[in-house]
Amino acid sequence: MKVEIIPTILVNTLDEIEEKIKLVDRYVNWVQLDVMDGVFVNNETWPHSVVPGKAEKGVRYFKEIQRLKKSNPPAGRKAKIEVHLMVEKPEEEFEEWLEVADRIIIHFESKITNRELGIRDLIKKAHQKKKGIGLALNPETHYAVATPFLKELDLVLFMTVQPGWGGQEFKEWTLTKIEALRKIWPKGDIEVDGGVNNENIEKIIKSGANLICAGTYIYRSKGIEKAIKSLNI
């Protein structure tokens, strides 16, 4: 399967998001926005980081999301937006994100009402809007929890670090889960996020992943284009 590199963006302001996108836009087809609420994970990113009373999901919060829509895409931008919702209650903001994102990833471990039915409902809402949707699994979560949804999902994302912070060390033992899912889902898109670099990329791709997320490795490199190309082996 075709391998695609997806730079991840973990920042606190919309200005930083736009700056990060500009740095990689000419080299990739997708970028991923990491949205963290400070509850599901011990970190906050935009827009949770700039709006008081985030948990209440008030009008100001949703207006902040709309700011992204107004700036997306500016003239010449080609990268699509994937939003990775690392939030406790994705249902509360899911439909707002559908208005600005091309694809949304929700976590199996989040507090979704009536989990299986709730996940299917979010999948349905995304597809009704002709948007992609993925299901993310934390390192300790067994891959089999995703199997009931494979016919409906656009991708499964394996976290290869604990979600919440960039720059963590890759958990190599997670590769066995990727291998297992690839055996039963040979044509599906499998995404990996966390600790990816030029030293472990070959093992990751051999395990069966074809969508490769990387943030720290790309943005802290001396040459962004070179860093991206080094992952696309």
Residue 34 among the catalytic residues: yes
Amino acid at 114: N
d(CA 20, CA 224): 11
DSSP annotation string for 118-173: HHHHHHHHHHHTT-EEEEEE-TTS-GGGGGGGTTT-SEEEEESS-TT-SSPPP-GG
The pair of three-digit structure tokens given for residue 134, joined into one six-digit string: 């993925």
Say if CB 188 and CB 156 are below 8 A apart.
yes
Residue 102 among the catalytic residues: no
Burial 22-49, CB ≥16 within 10 A → b, else e = eebbebbebbbbbbbbbbbbebbbbbbb
Q: Can you state the angle between helices 14-24 and 59-70, rounded to 10 degrees?
A: 30
Nearest-5° Cα angle at 29, 26 to 31: 95
Find the catalytic residue in 15, 25, 34, 189. Answer: 34
Find the catalytic residue in 37, 154, 189, 193. Answer: 193
Closest CA to 134 of 101, 99, 176, 106: 106
Q: Which amino acids are annotated catalytic?
A: 34, 193
